[in-house]
């Protein structure tokens, strides 16, 4: 299709400018990688952690004037948009604790409930259907959007990588929320946000990370996905 | 990565030449589309159906000397490789009935257990984890491979479409089986077979068809996926 008002770049850049991004569990590889790329795109980023000194240290390691660190609840309170880059273990508990400061905000869940054994990665069953739906159930006053599930932390953090060659599937039940996250993903060079469906279709997107792990092992790659004909 | 012995094109063309392909449920759009493209690639194809006259009629409509039609059990018995392009409803029963003629053969399951309601498509839970794992459980003497889940039947059947712009994820627990199906997918112009993991990771690939339905609706597309960095 050709670019038009319904296309992947629908949200206007002016909605994004000045947005402060909080990253819960931001000291992990995925969180630091997203912090790095979103700061490069001009956003103030607050890395959150259970341990403020670890968050400040991670922020200092990434460097630059735009990245700061603090407790998870500080990141949740000070940010306009919050990314949950936390481990699957403890996912519901941590988000429940932060329901107050996250109320009224867009919460981007990028958590992949997958396990590993001797045969590789496999999806872990989630009673709510997906990590994102679990987040929505414990954060009824937030707008939960699923996104950034398939982004290689290693590539995000690699200073040699100028451009990320992948589409980010963005899932949610609120059009304004998914449009904003689609635009946010599009700020990172090479990355494109593509609407991927309602939240009830997020489980298979999260679980697909196990397939990407299998692909990476077989082909010695950092695989991502592109959606064709969009 | 660069092409090498572990790459997506690993299986040799000589293993494929002369393979007869049976397509169970081959009178549906997906089955006819795959029949058309695999015959264009030079294979003899037998469209199977519960109703032999419908199968013969579908074969005649597609035309050419390579496509024939018959009962499902005839397609299963005469083919070297069998594609199950059957509805999810009745999937286990139909395959169970054909366990005898399918024994010792590669069975490619392309079935997507998804439902539709007013909000669009959604995955149907499968007790075995996926349609492909269900096939493996009722066909213990066959080699089940999951593949061709995301191929647009409309594009397969469109005479104006010379090249399919997508990767076919190929899942299975038998290396020779997945290698052969990867090579088979690669015979269709534009299409590439990519190993996608073990059968236990097939559920999310099947369910992802619901996301492609959502994407198609939003962007008015015939979306497929490409795997990057492979």
Q: List, as ranges, residues 27-46 from A with C-beta within 8 Å of B.
A: none
At residue B226, the 3 state secondary structure works out as strand
Partner B contacted by A198 (CB < 8 A)? yes
pLDDT of residue A11: 56
pLDDT of residue B7: 45
Q: Do B221 and A208 touch (CB under 8 A)?
A: no
Partner A contacted by B200 (CB < 8 A)? yes
Residue with tokens 């579908």: B58
d(CA B90, CA B95): 9
Percent of chain A residues past pLDDT 90, beyond the cut: 93
Residue B165's φ and ψ, nearest 5 degrees, are -95, 75
User: Which residues, in sequence order, are bridge partners of residue A168?
Assistant: A193
Q: What is the mean pLDDT of chain A?
A: 94
Q: Do A214 and B195 touch (CB under 8 A)?
A: yes
User: With 0-12 CB in 10 A as exposed, 13-18 as middle and 19+ as buried, what is A53?
Assistant: exposed
At residue B183, the 3 state secondary structure works out as helix
Nearest chain B residue to A206, by CA = B204
Q: Are A68 and A44 in contact (CB under 8 A)?
A: yes
Per-residue pLDDT at A169 exceeds 80: yes
Range name among A1-5, A19-23, B135-139 with the lowest pLDDT average: A1-5
Q: Do B123 and A201 touch (CB under 8 A)?
A: yes
Q: Do A228 and B166 touch (CB under 8 A)?
A: yes
Residues with Cβ within 8 Å of residue A88, at least 6 apart in sequence: A111, A112, A113, A114, A124, A131
Which chain B residues touch A6 with a CB distance below 8 Å? 218-220
Which chain B residues touch A195 with a CB distance below 8 Å? 214-215, 218-219
pTM for the complete prediction?
0.94
Interval A142-147 mean pLDDT: 98
d(CA B227, CA B195): 10
Q: Do B196 and A203 touch (CB under 8 A)?
A: no
Q: What is the pLDDT of residues B1-18, one digit of tens each?
A: 444 444 444 456 667 889
Neighbours of A119 (CB within 10 A): 12
Residue with tokens 């049976």: B22
Q: Do B197 and A210 touch (CB under 8 A)?
A: yes
Q: What is the pLDDT of residues B56-111, one digit of tens each?
A: 999 999 999 999 999 999 999 999 999 999 999 999 999 999 999 999 999 999 99
Q: How far is CA A93 from the centre of its chain?
A: 18
Q: Do B204 and A210 touch (CB under 8 A)?
A: yes
Q: Do A6 and B230 touch (CB under 8 A)?
A: no
Q: Are A163 and A189 in contact (CB under 8 A)?
A: yes
Partner B contacted by A118 (CB < 8 A)? no
| Run of H or E including B224 | strand B224-228
Q: Are B154 and B222 in contact (CB under 8 A)?
A: yes
Q: What is the mean pLDDT of chain B?
A: 94
pLDDT of residue A13: 60
d(CA B7, CA B9): 6
d(CA A45, CA A155): 19
Q: What is the pLDDT of residues A5-32, one digit of tens each?
A: 444 444 566 678 899 999 999 999 999 9
- Number of Cα atoms under 13 Å in the Cβ half of residue A223: 24
Q: How many residues does chain B have?
A: 230
Which chain A residues touch B215 with a CB distance below 8 Å? 194-197, 227, 230
Q: What is the pLDDT of residues B173-207, one digit of tens each?
A: 999 999 999 999 999 999 999 999 999 999 999 99
pLDDT of residue B154: 93
Q: Do B211 and A230 touch (CB under 8 A)?
A: no
Q: Do A201 and B214 touch (CB under 8 A)?
A: yes
Q: Are A81 and A21 in contact (CB under 8 A)?
A: yes
CA angle A222, A223, A229 (to 5 degrees): 150
pLDDT of residue B3: 40
Interval A108-129 mean pLDDT: 97
pLDDT of residue B15: 76
3-state secondary structure chain A: CCCCCCCCCCCCHHHHCCCCEEEECCCCHHHHHHHHHHHHCCCCEEEEECCHHHHHHHHHHHCCCCEEEEEHHHHHHHCCEEEECCCCCCHHHHHHHCHHHHCCCEEEECCCCEEEECCEEEECCCCCCCHHHHHHHHCCCCEEEECCCCCCHHHHHCCCCCCCCEEEEEECCCHHHHHHHHHHHHCCCCEEEEEEECHHHCHHHHHHHHHHHHHHHHHCCCCEEEEECC
Going by the DSSP 8-state scheme, the letter that residue B149 receives in this structure is T
Q: What is the pLDDT of residues A63-82, one digit of tens each?
A: 999 999 999 999 999 999 99
**CA max distance for chain A:** 48
**Among candidates A120, A204, A226 on the partner chain, residue whose Cβ is nearest the Cβ of B198:** A120
Which chain A residues touch B194 with a CB distance below 8 Å? 215, 219
Nearest chain A residue to B226, by CA = A226
**Among candidates B208, B220, B222 on the partner chain, residue whose Cβ is nearest the Cβ of A208:** B208
Kindly provide the ipTM of the predicted complex, given to two decimals: 0.93
Which chain B residues touch A208 with a CB distance below 8 Å? 204-205, 208
Which chain B residues touch A201 with a CB distance below 8 Å? 121-123, 207, 210-211, 214
pLDDT of residue A42: 96
For B49-101, give the DSSP string: ESSHHHHHHHHHHH-STTEEEEEHHHHHHH-SEEEE---STTHHHHHHHTHHH
Q: What is the pLDDT of residues A186-197, one digit of tens each?
A: 999 999 999 999
Q: Which of A219, A220, A221, A224 to mutate to test the interface with B (most CBs of B within 10 A)?
A: A219
Q: Are A226 and B226 in contact (CB under 8 A)?
A: yes
Nearest chain B residue to A5, by CA = B219
Range name among A10-24, A154-168, B8-22, B134-148 with the lowest pLDDT average: B8-22
Per-residue pLDDT at A91 exceeds 90: yes
Q: Do A228 and B223 touch (CB under 8 A)?
A: yes
In B158-193, which ranges are continuous DSSP H helix?
175-186
Partner B contacted by A48 (CB < 8 A)? no
Which chain B residues touch A120 with a CB distance below 8 Å? 197-198
């Amino acid at each position: 299709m050709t670019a038009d008002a319904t296309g992947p770049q629908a949200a206007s850049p002016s909605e994004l400018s000045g947005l402060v991004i909080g990253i819960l569990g931001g000291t992990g590889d995925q969180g630091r990688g997203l912090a790095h790329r979103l700061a490069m795109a001009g956003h103030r980023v607050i890395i959150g952690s259970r341990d403020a000194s670890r968050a400040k240290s991670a922020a200092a390691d990434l460097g630059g004037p735009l990245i700061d660190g603090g407790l998870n609840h500080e990141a949740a309170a000070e940010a306009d948009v919050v990314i949950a880059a936390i481990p699957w273990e403890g996912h519901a508990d941590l988000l429940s604790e932060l329901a107050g400061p996250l109320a009224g905000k867009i919460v981007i869940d990028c958590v992949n409930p997958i396990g590993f054994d001797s045969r590789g990665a496999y999806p872990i069953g989630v009673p709510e259907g997906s990590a994102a739906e679990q987040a929505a159930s414990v954060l009824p006053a937030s707008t939960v959007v699923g996104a950034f599930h398939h982004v290689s932390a290693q590539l995000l953090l690699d200073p040699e990588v100028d451009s990320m060659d992948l589409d980010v599937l963005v899932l949610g039940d609120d059009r304004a929320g998914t449009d904003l996250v689609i635009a946010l993903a599009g700020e990172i060079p090479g990355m494109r946000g593509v609407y991927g469906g309602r939240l009830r279709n997020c489980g298979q997107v999260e679980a697909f990370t196990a397939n990407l792990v299998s692909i990476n092992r077989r082909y010695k790659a950092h695989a991502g996905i592109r959606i064709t004909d969009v």
